[in-house]
Structure 1
C-alpha cells in the first residue's frame, strides 16, 4: 500500500474511533506496525535505529536510520555477532544464548524493541534495558529479557536494544581514532537518543527514562553516568545490577586486535590499508577466530569521551550525571565466574586476579580476608568482590560523599533449587533477572519464586516511576560506614513479600575485604 494511502487509512480510523490503531506508531524509523500480546501489551520488535554497520561501515560509528516507510515490527532483529571463548565460553553460551533456539547472528544487528502496556495514558515512565555479556556477547532478543511481564504488571514502557560487542564493538584498533574504538558505547548512546526522540509516540515520557543494566550492561550504565553531565543525561535515573566501572589504566593496548588481524591474514602495518583488508574478511571467519578457546578478549579503551580512567574521581568532583541510582550485587556473584578456574588458590590468583591487579597477589594475602572459607569458596568470593561488590561499595560511597541524593545499595540473596546451574551456584551472577523480567520457568518455580518475581518487579517499577522515594518499604537511602544500617539485603531469609523483602543491615558489613585489600586496585586514590 502506498504510504499516502496508508496514512489516510490511519487518519480515517482515528476519526471514526477517536484514536489511531494502537499497533501503528509513527517514529523516525518509519511507521511501525506492532502486535498485541498477552495482557494487551503492545510490542514493537526489530526496529532499526542505525544503518547496517557492515562493509565499509564495519568499525564505524553508528549512523542514525531515518525512514518514513511502513515497517513490520513484529519480530526481533538478529543478534550481533557473538563471542564465547575462554574457560567459561561453553557455559556462557549455554546460560546466556538460549541454546535450544539460539538467535540468528548478523553484523547488521542494530535493532531495538518496545513493549507498552494496554493503556491510553500518556507520559508513562520508561525503562531502557542494557544486556550484559562481558562486552563479548549478549542480545536483547533472548527470552529471559522479554519485556511483556514487567510492562504489563508495572504499567511502564520497556525498551531493549542491541549493541555491538567483542571485536565488532570494542576492537581496540590502532588503525582507528582512539575515540572511534568504543563503538558499542556509541551504539548505546544512539539508542538513548532514539528513545528521547520517539518514546512519546508510544505514550512514554522522555523525561522519565531510567536505564538499567546487568554485569557488562551495568558497567555500561555506570559509563553512561560517568560521561554525561548533570545537564545532558538522556535519562533521569539508573539501576545497576552487578557492575560499575572503577579506576583503570589509561594506557591503550592494541595487542588483541593486532593478533586478530594477523590471524585472519591482514598483515599490513596498522592503518588504512590494513583496515580495508580487515573490512573484507567475512564476519563468519571473524567469528570462528574469536570463538576459539584461546582467542583474546576485546575490551573498551579509555578515550576520555565514552570511557574514563577515573570514574570515581569524576563522581567526587561533580563531573558526572547526578542521577538517583540503585546499585548492588548478588551474594554469590563469583560462583559462575570461577567455574573452570584452577581449584588451587595460588594458581587461580595467578590466572585471573594478578593480571587484573597488575601485580602478584598471593594466597597468603587473600586467605585472611575470608576466615572460615576453604580455597574453592575463597576463589568465588574473591571474584565476586573485585568484580562486583567492591565496585558497588566504592560507587555508592563516592556518590553519597559528592552529595548525590537518592542512592540505594543492595545485596540479593535468594537461592532457588530450579535455578541452580551446578552444585553451590547459590544466588549466582544474573540469577535475579528471571525474577525482574518475570521470565522464570513457571513449570518448576516454587510459590516463593513466583512471589519474589512480583516483588522485584514492583521494586524496579516503583523506582522507575519515582526515583526520589524508597523503592520498597523501609529501604533507606544509602549512607556508607559502620554507624548506619542502610545496606538492603534482599530476600536473604525466605522473605519474598513486598513488605518484608529487605533487611537493612550495617552499611559496610560486606565490605571488609574491600577496605582491607581490594580497593587499592580499584580506586586511584589508594
Structure 2
C-alpha cells in the first residue's frame, strides 16, 4: 500500500510541475529555472557541490559555482545507497520504494518557498536519516511543498554522501577527511547562507531539522559549532542525537573492501588511487552484499567528538535553542525478528548486561521481542534525549523543549506491532500522509505538527505549542511534552505535560552509563 501511495504521489507532483509557470532566481549555482504554482516556488536538483567522482571520490566536497542558466525542475539523483543486511528488505520497502535513480554524482538540493518571494522568512533545512548508510532527499515523504505553503517558511532539502562513499573509515585518508557526509551537509548549509535571501528566506533565521541519523547529523552540527558561529539559530532532533563515542577509529570494513575489490596495496595513496578507479556500481554491489561491512562516522575532533555531552555542559557548542525527543515505539522497527533477549544482549553488549538486569527495567510479562523493542527505543533514542536535555539546561541554554510522540494510526501500521514507530511522524510534519487512507485525526495532527515546526522556526525562544513548558529535568517538574497521546491532536490540546523524568527510569538505572562516558 505504501509503495503504491509513494508512486502515485510522485506522479502527481510531476504532473503538477508540468503545468506550473517558470520562475528564475539567480544564485551561486547559476540562474535557476524553477516552477511556480499555487503561491509556491519550487526549485529541484540544484547542484551545490561538484561531482564527487574521480579524484574527488573520498575527498571533501567542492562548491559548485556557475552563472549559467540551470534547469531546476527535476530532483537530482540519490547518492549511492547501502541497505545493510538483516533489515535490508524492510528498509528498502519503507524507505526506498519506488527506488529513485542513484548516482555517485549526487550533491543536489531542493528549495520550496512562498511566491512571490518576500523577505525575512524563516528557513527549515531538512537532513534525512538512514543510519548514514542510505537515505535521499528524493523520496515523496520529504517533499517540502505542504510545509512551506502552510507555514510560510522556506524549506530546503539536500543529498549527502552515505555509507563508504560518505563515511569511509579509511586509513588511506587524513582522519579529518573521513566524515565526508557531514562536510557535504556543511557545504549545503553554506549554500543556504549565501543564497536563501534570493528565495525570501532570512539566513539569520535558519532551523536545521533531522530524523534518526539526520537528527544525529543535526546534533553533530550543533556540537561542532562554537557559540556565535553556527549557520542556524535553532535545531530540531527527531529520534536521534550524538553521545559518547570511542575515539579509536576502526578501519576493518574499508580494508576488507579494498582487498575484496583487488586493491591489495598497503594503506595509502596507491591503494586509494586503485579504489578510485573502481566503478561506483561495483562498489555498490559489494557494499550491498553479505560479505560487506558497514560504515559510520568516526571521531575526528573536527566534525565528531568523543565527548559531546561534556562539550554542551562546558558551553563549547552552538548553544542555540533545541527541540528533541522520541516516538513511543521507536524500537519496534529494529526489533523485527529479534525474539531472544539474551542473544540480542550478547551480540550488542557482550557480557556487560544480563537478561535479568534488563527484564527488571520493564513491565513484567513482556515477550523478549517487546523488551528488545523497548530497550532499543531507550538506549538509542529516549535516553540520549534525556541526557541532551539535561546537559543543555544545565549549561544555561534557555530554550530546550523535550517531547515524546505517541499517536498510532491504522494506515501507518506497516509491519507487525509497529505502533508509533520510528519515522511515523515524518509524513505528518511534511503533510505527505496518504490522504485517501488518513483519518480526520491524522490530518488534524499533520496540521498541528506543521504548526509546531513552523512556530519553532519563527521563534525558537517561544514555546512551539500552547502549554508546552521549557524542559527542566528531574522528578519535581512536569515539563516533558507528550504529544498527541489519548487522541489529543489539535494544537490546543496536543501537549500533555508529564513528569520530566517519567519515562527515564531505565536510562537512569542502566543505560546512561554506556551513553555518557565522561572523560
Tell me which interval the TM-score lies in, with the shorter structure as reference length: over 0.9
CA contact (8 A) 2:239 2:326 kept: yes
Equivalent in the alignment of 2:172: 175
* Deviation of 1:294 (Å): 4.6
Equivalent in the alignment of 1:165: 162
Equivalent in the alignment of 1:112: 109
* TM-score using structure 2 length: 0.95
Select the residue among 436, 452, 457 that pairs with 1:459. Answer: 452
Q: CA RMSD in A?
A: 1.1
C-alpha distance in 1 between matches for 2:319 and 2:340: 43
Structure 2 unaligned segments of length 5 or more: list them: 1-20
Matched residue of 1:335: which SS? coil
**Residue 360, structure 1, aligned to residue 352, structure 2:** yes
Matched residue of 2:496: which SS? strand
Q: How many pairs were matched up?
A: 498
Equivalent in the alignment of 2:437: 444
CA contact (8 A) 1:54 1:107 kept: yes
C-alpha distance in 2 between matches for 1:445 and 1:71: 38
CA contact (8 A) 2:117 2:198 kept: no
Select the residue among 357, 378, 390 that pairs with 2:383. Answer: 390
Question: Counterparts in 2 of 1:74-223, with a 5 A limit?
Answer: 74-97=73-96, 99=97, 101-223=98-220
C-alpha distance in 2 between matches for 1:336 and 1:463: 29
**Residue 312, structure 1, aligned to residue 312, structure 2:** no
C-alpha distance in 2 between matches for 1:313 and 1:271: 34
Matched residue of 2:485: which SS? coil
CA contact (8 A) 1:87 1:293 kept: no
C-alpha distance in 2 between matches for 1:293 and 1:333: 26
* Deviation of 1:176 (Å): 0.2
**Segments ≥4 residues shifted beyond 4 Å:** none
Compare 286-295 and 176-185 and name the one that shifted more.
Answer: 286-295
CA contact (8 A) 1:326 1:407 kept: yes
Matched residue of 2:275: which SS? helix
Change in 2 beyond 3 A, CA 1:48/1:120: closer
Equivalent in the alignment of 1:323: 320
Write out per-residue CA displacement over residues 353-407 of structure 1, whole angstroms, 9 at most, x where no aligned residue.
316xxx5321011110002222211000011111100000000000000000110
CA contact (8 A) 1:409 1:487 kept: yes
Select the residue among 337, 345, 361 that pairs with 1:349. Answer: 345
CA contact (8 A) 1:85 1:294 kept: no
CA contact (8 A) 1:89 1:293 kept: no
Write out per-residue CA displacement over residues 388-444 of structure 1, whole angstroms, 9 at most, x where no aligned residue.
000000000000000001100000000000000122100000000000000000111
* TM-score using structure 1 length: 0.93
Equivalent in the alignment of 2:39: 40
Equivalent in the alignment of 1:501: 494
C-alpha distance in 2 between matches for 1:141 and 1:467: 28
CA contact (8 A) 2:30 2:70 kept: yes
C-alpha distance in 2 between matches for 1:240 and 1:22: 35
C-alpha distance in 2 between matches for 1:441 and 1:103: 19
Change in 2 beyond 3 A, CA 1:294/1:443: farther
Equivalent in the alignment of 2:517: 524
Write out per-residue CA displacement over residues 33-78 of structure 1, whole angstroms, 9 at most, x where no aligned residue.
10024x3211000000010000111000000001000001000000
Matched residue of 1:463: which SS? helix
Question: Counterparts in 2 of 1:382-421, with a 5 A limit?
Answer: 382-421=375-414
Matched residue of 1:210: which SS? strand
Equivalent in the alignment of 2:51: 52
Equivalent in the alignment of 1:28: 28
Matched residue of 1:46: which SS? strand
Equivalent in the alignment of 1:277: 274
C-alpha distance in 2 between matches for 1:85 and 1:392: 26
Select the residue among 349, 358, 363 that pairs with 1:371. Answer: 363
C-alpha distance in 1 between matches for 2:116 and 2:444: 25
C-alpha distance in 2 between matches for 1:291 and 1:22: 40
C-alpha distance in 2 between matches for 1:139 and 1:371: 38
Question: Counterparts in 2 of 1:190-269, with a 5 A limit?
Answer: 190-269=187-266
